[in-house]
């Protein structure tokens, strides 16, 4: 069996041409999107996805046209949290029409494509030694396809919910030429802060402006102050979202917590964070 190294050029597959055409579609698609914002942490377990879902809802409640791309291909949760899980994707000549939430947020997630709850996403390679490289390139290809072939339409903001891992921002930055910025999420934990510092460094290296740092689950346990971390890193501190079990319960039901319990401390904090993000992405580029 031939290996890639045994094939001269692209073997007649025109892979380079296909990727260039898809990248051109991606650029054209995102031309109608005012701001593309990556929500990152680097550390898992900080509630980043529920924060992303509720920030999207806050922006939508404030009149923004919002889309959310679930960039976690192996553990997608956005469809569930935003209440569109199980909805069928509509394929049209202009691309895939993403489902909309009750607040009008457009959602695209690998979860909408998997056949069942237990079906994992697998990346097959000829040998285990090639699996890691193969997985990385296939993930990048899948994300490019989601961005390029989804009919996002005109949006004020497209939020990208990135999976754990400081390297994932590099992948997204390589696909999106005009990444407006990143929002970094942490919890009051030394371990979380350790990883988040790396994410902030990566964001500066890929020239994706850090719009600010959010502390999630405030009050759940004592820990270091995220405001001091933001100050030391030279980035804005967007606020603290207090721990509220009702927020997680709403995500499990696929309900917009900020709309169901707008007077709760967590919802007010999320709204305040969303307003700061809205102000940051509405400001003209310097």
Q: What is the pLDDT of residue 133?
A: 44
Q: Is there a domain that residue 150 lies in? A: yes
pLDDT tens digits along 56-68 = 999 999 999 999 9
Ramachandran bin of 225, using left for φ above 0, alpha for ψ from -120 to 50, beta for the remaining angles: beta
Q: Is there a domain that residue 148 lies in? A: yes
pLDDT tens digits along 118-149 = 555 554 545 545 444 445 577 888 898 999 99
Give this prediction's pTM: 0.87
What mean pLDDT comes out for the span 186-205? 93
Q: Which residue has the tokens 């072939």?
A: 149
Q: Is there a domain that residue 100 lies in? A: yes
Domain total in the chain: 1
Q: Is there a domain that residue 5 lies in? A: no
Q: Is there a domain that residue 212 lies in? A: yes
Q: Which domain holds residue 100?
A: 33-282
Q: Is there a domain that residue 19 lies in? A: no
pLDDT tens digits along 159-182 = 999 998 888 899 898 889 889 999
Q: Is there a domain that residue 2 lies in? A: no
Q: Is there a domain that residue 21 lies in? A: no
Q: What is the pLDDT of residue 6?
A: 56
CATH code, domain with 148: 3.40.50.300
pLDDT tens digits along 227-279 = 999 999 999 999 999 999 999 999 999 999 999 999 999 999 999 999 999 99
């Amino acid at each position: 069996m031939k290996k890639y190294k045994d094939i001269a050029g692209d073997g007649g597959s025109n892979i380079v041409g296909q990727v260039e055409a898809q990248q051109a579609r991606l650029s054209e698609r995102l031309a109608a999107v005012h701001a593309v914002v990556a929500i990152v942490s680097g550390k898992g377990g900080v509630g980043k996805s529920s924060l992303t879902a509720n920030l999207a809802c806050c922006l939508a409640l404030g009149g923004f046209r919002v889309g959310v791309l679930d960039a976690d291909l192996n553990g997608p949760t956005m469809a569930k949290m935003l209440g569109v899980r199980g909805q069928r994707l509509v394929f049209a000549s202009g691309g895939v029409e993403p489902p909309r939430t009750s607040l009008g947020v457009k959602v695209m997630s690998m979860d909408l494509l998997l056949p069942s709850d237990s079906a994992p996403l697998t990346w097959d390679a000829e040998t285990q030694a090639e699996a890691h490289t193969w997985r990385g390139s296939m993930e990048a290809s899948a994300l490019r396809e989601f961005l390029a072939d989804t009919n996002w339409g005109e949006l004020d903001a497209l939020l990208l919910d990135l999976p754990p891992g400081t390297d994932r921002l590099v992948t997204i930055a390589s696909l999106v030429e005009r990444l407006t910025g990143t929002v970094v999420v942490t919890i009051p934990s030394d371990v979380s802060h350790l990883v988040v510092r790396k994410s902030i460094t990566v964001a500066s290296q890929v020239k994706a402006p850090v719009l600010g740092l959010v502390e999630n689950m405030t009050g759940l346990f004592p820990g270091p102050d995220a405001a001091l971390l933001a100050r030391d890193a030279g980035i804005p501190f967007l606020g603290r979202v207090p721990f509220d079990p009702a927020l997680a319960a709403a995500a499990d039901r696929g309900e917009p917590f900020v709309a169901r319990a707008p007077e709760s401390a967590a919802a007010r904090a999320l709204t305040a964070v969303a307003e700061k993000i809205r102000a940051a992405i509405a400001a003209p580029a310097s």
